Amino acid sequence: MTGPAEVRCTLMRGGTSKGACFLAEDLPADPAARDDLLLRVMGSPDPRQIDGLGGAHPLTSKVAVVSPSEDPDADVDYLFLQVAVDRAEVSDRQNCGNILAAVGPFAVERGLVAPGDDETAVRVRMLNTGERAVATFPTPGGRVDYTGTAEISGVPGGAAPVVIEFPAAGRPLLPTGRVRDTVAGVEVTCVDNGMPAVLVPAAALKVTGYEQPKDLEEDLALADRLRGIRLAAGRLMGLGDVENATVPKLTLLAPPRTGGAVTTRTFIPVRCHTSIGVLGAASVAAGLRLPGGVGEGIARPPASGERIRIEHPTGFLDIDTDVDTGARPPAVRRTAVVRTARKIFDGTVFPRPSGTVPAQPQGGNDGSATR
């Protein structure tokens, strides 16, 4: 396939992820040509992504495609694309709440939304699922200000807060219609509060849930069990064959260790997240509010109306989640989270020439080519 020899690009950190942000008009309209271009931009397939912008991990191999929205209830449309690291694959089957934190500032930076004098609220339609979000962030003097004291686990230092509020999703909170299911011999709770997720007691898989992500990834027996659970849960949740999909996410639950509500280890879907995704955390938080869910006896959720702290391998993430457990079926009233974002560079990216595939490294000092 052919494509542009150079593309305007803004590299941004959004929450605990990093991704390349593009205006839709700067990319090919044909999805196949677009995906081919993005693989070359990010340097995939290659475990190190040495010839592109990607950072050799799913959390740093992400793309946001942003455009003005024709929907009167939205300012911009946001298409999230997950670019695989070591495979020639680009997926649009999920949202990303971390990169979402960068979409509002990017829209103002590129002139899609006029900034306010003190702060700006950008209404975002997420094209992957049709769901909505409102991101509010400081714009003193009509310019995006990334500096501030808000801190989030997994990101060094402070930055300006980006408050993201999610209206109630149109999809069922319980995709299977049940608060518990037995999947591949394990009791789980399947929940979708913006991200299809399967909550699994860590002890049911003979792990503690406190292991480091690297150690969990190297447990081949665990990987085999997780794969079986994910494939079966995907069918139960109405997602079909998820063998090559990035959803549902699997989150292992263990009792909290540092004063939060629960300790988590999340698989995305094979690599273990070094923290937890925003929408994944939103689904976990909603799941913990459900009487009879697998979190009972494991988690220590606070009283209704209080923020839920989700512990993860590098810290925690706080979520405001209000669930109407008296409704039939249960429904989420409100979900909100504080993230931060930062513009890293804005300029021109030069993709690898069309028709070339990088040689697969046979080894390296960082060990990434042999894992």
Helix axes 97-109, 278-288, angle to 10 degrees: 130
Task: Please name which of 279, 127, 253 lies closest in space to residue 193, comparing C-alpha atoms.
Answer: 279
User: Which two tokens mark 198?
Assistant: 């399967």
Query: What does the pLDDT look like over 223-278, one tens digit per residue?
Result: 999 999 999 999 999 999 999 898 999 999 999 999 999 999 999 888 999 999 99
**pLDDT at res. 370:** 28
How far is residue 341's CA from residue 162's CA, in Å, rounded to a whole number? 7
Domain ranges within the chain, ordered by starting residue: 7-167+341-370, 181-328
Are the C-beta atoms of 276 and 310 separated by less than 8 Å? yes
Radius of gyration of the chain (CA): 20
Among residues 244, 241, 286, 249, the alpha carbon closest in space to that of 268 is found at: 249
Query: In the CATH scheme, what is the code of domain 7-167+341-370?
Result: 3.10.310.10
Q: Cα(265)–Cα(288) distance, rounded to whole angstroms?
A: 15
Q: Residue 259 and residue 228: Cα distance in Å, rounded? A: 32
Residue 163 bridge partners (DSSP): 136, 338
**Confidence (pTM):** 0.78
CATH superfamily, with its number, for domain 181-328: Diaminopimelate Epimerase; Chain A, domain 1 (3.10.310.10)
pLDDT digits (tens, 9 = 90+) for 97-143: 999 999 999 999 999 999 999 999 999 999 998 999 999 999 999 99
pLDDT, tens digit, 9 for 90 and up, residues 156-199:
999 999 999 998 767 899 999 999 999 999 999 999 998 999 99
| Fold equal for 7-167+341-370 and 181-328 | yes
Q: 320-353: per-residue pLDDT in tens?
A: 999 999 999 999 999 999 999 999 999 999 999 9
At residue 364, does pLDDT exceed 50?
Answer: no
CA dihedral angle for residue 29, residue 35, residue 250, residue 259, rounded to 10 degrees? -80
pLDDT of residue 359: 53
- Convert 143-157 to b/e letters by CB count within 10 Å (16 or more is b): ebebeeeeebbbbee
Contact 221, 215 (CB under 8 A): no
Q: What is the mean pLDDT of the chain?
A: 93
For tokens 């990303």, the residue is: 96
